[in-house]
Chains A and B, each alone.
Chain A
Amino acid sequence: MFDEYTMSELTSILAMQGFAGLILFSVLVLMALGLAIIFGQMGVINMAHGEFMILGAYVTYLTAKLFETYLPSLFDGYFFVAMGLAFLASFALGVLVEWCMIRFLFKRPLDTLLATWGLSLILQQLYRTIFGAREVGVTLPDWMMGSYPLSETIEVPINGIFVMVLTLFISLCVYLLMFRSRWGKQVRAVVLNRPMAGAVGINTEKIDRYTFGIGCGVAGVAGSAFTMIGSTGPTSGQLYIVDTFLVVVFGGAQSLLGTIASAFTISQSQSTLEFFLSGSMAKVITLLLVVGILMLRPQGLFALKIRH
């Protein structure tokens, strides 16, 4: 099927397709990181994850409006402010949700799933009531639009690069937070042995609350970033939820590295398949592949071997 193309076309396509895969990879990682923190560290299934992302997107939308009206001179930089605000808003909502809901449902992961699904319905309707049923358009500063031509045929989307850099940055932050900070140590202590962690003076309730909050906050940042590539509407969050869960589960719930590896695997297979097959079939085959591998390795790609 490659006969019709010249060599240089093929190389550039390969390069761009690889890049498309990398963008998809970054998107999946961004989506999944927040969920991986919450699911992996707390065992809580947050079905409202998509809605936390959309909260970030709406915050970005509002910030853009605000800058347009009051600070047009600083509009070029609003996106960074927006991401910060998105994090804070989602974090705050996450902490609130943990406080009035999740903490009562520990050790009942399937119930958290149902309760957070209920939460997602409420949030969707809330967005619809506040922002209207229609999608909102988030205006981006000019420098974030368009592409950067590497060669005559290879062009790199700037927002793609932005998403990749952001993903790298967030992953690094999460890594530092979880594995290099005192707080991260406490979180891991709570995961491994809750009563013991409590006994040595770690405030487990506080750790849970902030873990949940940070997971949601990361989702908010992801949502903010997604205004560059996707839609912002009351129900947009639902588009992401299945993919996100599969990435986390496929990666092995308790391993952040696993999440990243699984995002890589899924994104590359998806974008490769998309090139040869129709979009629908590519999606079906990717999902089947993931389900199939999960059957062979139920613990995911990177689960720790645990001694009974």
Chain B
Amino acid sequence: MSIKANDFVLEVEGLTVSFDGFKAVNDLSFYVNEGEIRVIIGPNGAGKTTVLDLICGRTQATTGSIKFRGKELTRMKEHEIVHTGVGRKFQNPSIYDDLTVFENLEISYPRGRSVFGALAFKRDKEVIREVEATAETIFLKDDLDKQAGLLSHGQKQWLEIGMLLIQKPDLLMLDEPVAGMSVAERKKTADLLNRITEGRSVLVVEHDMQFVEDIAHRVTVMHQGKVLSEGSMTRVKNDPKVIEVYLGH
């Protein structure tokens, strides 16, 4: 590899993870540029979600390296990875049902993250301003005092995206952000993503091809834990290997 390390936000090299002998991700390498929206697609079981899990520390890699802004992530704890600037959204909306929208966002606000920091945490003007601004972005300004469990499915997805935004991550990882959304909500989400990606890199796992075309700068196709093809959407779409996998599927 002749490319210099600091050209990329994220460098994944030779990444392998095996579950009891089954290699869910096998010698995978890819690189994400600063400010890029990268979408990972692939048939079920290709290892897409596992890649996100590996990057954010939820799963430990068997071998290989993941570098974020030159920092090695594979040995870090989840929260440390978050502190370096990586944010992750889960496939199913993962929010705190028992708390209000306001509190959901407030908890995600990156201050008072240690035990004693939390004890000393004050809900000052700055926090309120940030929360309100974020709520506006994710279309939930009027629902701040609503209990999060009572939101609609789409709103929950947005709330989770909002919870990531307020962390101000440099790398945003989204796992099927539009799954289960109505057509109108999808549209709104695509706009939202396009707006919030300014100034940060985004890694998205998605099935919805229309949505992928809407947002992707580049696409990585995974199959059986390996990269099958990589490039622009158009290029990938015409790759015979990809066509075979998808049709064969």
In the complex, A touching B, CB below 8 Å?
yes
Residue ID in chain B nearest A307 by CB atoms: B19
Complex Cα spacing A305 to B59, Å: 11
In the assembled complex, how far is the CB of residue A308 from the closest CB belonging to chain B, in whole angstroms?
6
Sample of 9 further A-B pairs with CB below 8 A, known A307-B19, A307-B50, A308-B58: A304-B20, A305-B19, A305-B20, A306-B19, A307-B24, A308-B49, A308-B50, A308-B53, A308-B59
**Residues of A270-308 contacting chain B, CB below 8 A:** 304-308
Q: How large is the interface on A (under 10, 10 to 19, 20 to 34, 35 or more residues)?
A: under 10
Q: Chain B, 16-58, contact with A by CB distance < 8 Å: what is the 0/1 string?
A: 0001100010000000000000000000000001100100001
Measured CB to CB, the closest approach of chain B to A254, in angstroms, equals 14
Q: Provide the main secondary structure of the chain A interface.
A: loop
Measured CA separation A308–B24 after assembly (Å): 11
Query: From residue B242, how far is it (CB to closest CB) to chain A in Å?
Result: 24
Contact partners of A306 in chain B: CB under 8 A = 19
- Interface flags for B55-70 (1: CB within 8 Å of A; 0: not) read 0001100000000000
On chain B, the residues within 8 Å of A307 by CB distance are 19, 24, 50
CB of A182 to closest CB in B, whole Å: 26
A308 to B58: give the CA distance in the assembly, Å: 9
Total contacting residues, chain B, CB less than 8 A: 8
What 8 A-B pairs are tightest by C-beta distance, nearest first?
A: A305-B19, A305-B20, A307-B19, A308-B53, A307-B24, A308-B58, A308-B59, A307-B50
Q: How far is the CB of B98 from chain A (nearest CB, A)?
A: 15
Give complex CA distance A233, B21 in Å: 49
Which residue among A304, A305, A306, A307 has the maximum number of chain B CB atoms within 10 Å of its CB?
Answer: A307
- Scoring A304, A305, A306, A308 by chain B CB atoms within 10 A of each residue's CB, the highest score goes to A308
Give the docked Cα–Cα distance between A279 and B63 (Å): 46
Pull 12 A–B residue pairs with CB atoms less than 8 Å apart, ordered by A.
Answer: A304-B20, A305-B19, A305-B20, A306-B19, A307-B19, A307-B24, A307-B50, A308-B49, A308-B50, A308-B53, A308-B58, A308-B59
Question: Complex formed: what's the CA distance from A288 to B24 in Å?
Answer: 36
* Complex Cα spacing A305 to B58, Å: 14
Q: How far is the CB of A158 from chain B (nearest CB, A)?
A: 42
Docked pose: A304 CA to B19 CA in angstroms: 9
Contacts of A304 in B (CB 8 A): 20
Q: In this complex, what residue of A is CB-closest to B50?
A: A307
How far apart are the CA atoms of A308 and B49 in the complex, in Å? Answer: 8
Q: How far is the CA of A307 from the CA of B24 in the complex (A)?
A: 9
Give A295 to B28 CA distance when docked, in angstroms: 32
CB-nearest residue of chain B relative to A306?
Answer: B19
* Bound: A305/B19 CA distance, A: 6
How would residues 202 to 231 of chain A score, 1 for a CB under 8 Å from any chain B CB and 0 otherwise? 000000000000000000000000000000
What's the least CB distance linking B46 to chain A, in Å? 13
Complex CA–CA separation, A304 to B22 (angstroms):
12
CB-defined contacts of B19 to chain A, threshold 8 Å: 305-307
- A306-B22 Cα distance, complex, nearest whole Å: 11
Shortest distance from the beta carbon of B164 to any chain A beta carbon, whole Å: 19
Which residue of chain A has the shortest Cβ distance to B90 in the bound complex? Answer: A308
In the assembled complex, the CB of B173 is this many whole angstroms from the nearest CB of chain A, namely 14
Q: B20 to chain A: which residues have CB within 8 Å?
A: 304-305
A308 vs B53: C-alpha distance when bound (angstroms):
8
In the complex, what distance in Å separates the CA atom of A307 from the CA atom of B59?
9
Contacts of B59 in A (CB 8 A): 308
Return chain B residues, CB-CB under 8 Å to A308.
49-50, 53, 58-59
Q: Give the distance in Å from the alpha carbon of A306 to the alpha carbon of B58 in the complex.
A: 12
Q: How far is the CA of A308 from the CA of B175 in the complex (A)?
A: 13
**Nearest chain A CB to B222 CB, angstrom units:** 15
Nearest CB of chain A from residue B56's CB, rounded to whole Å: 11
Assembled-state Cα–Cα distance A289/B19 (Å): 28
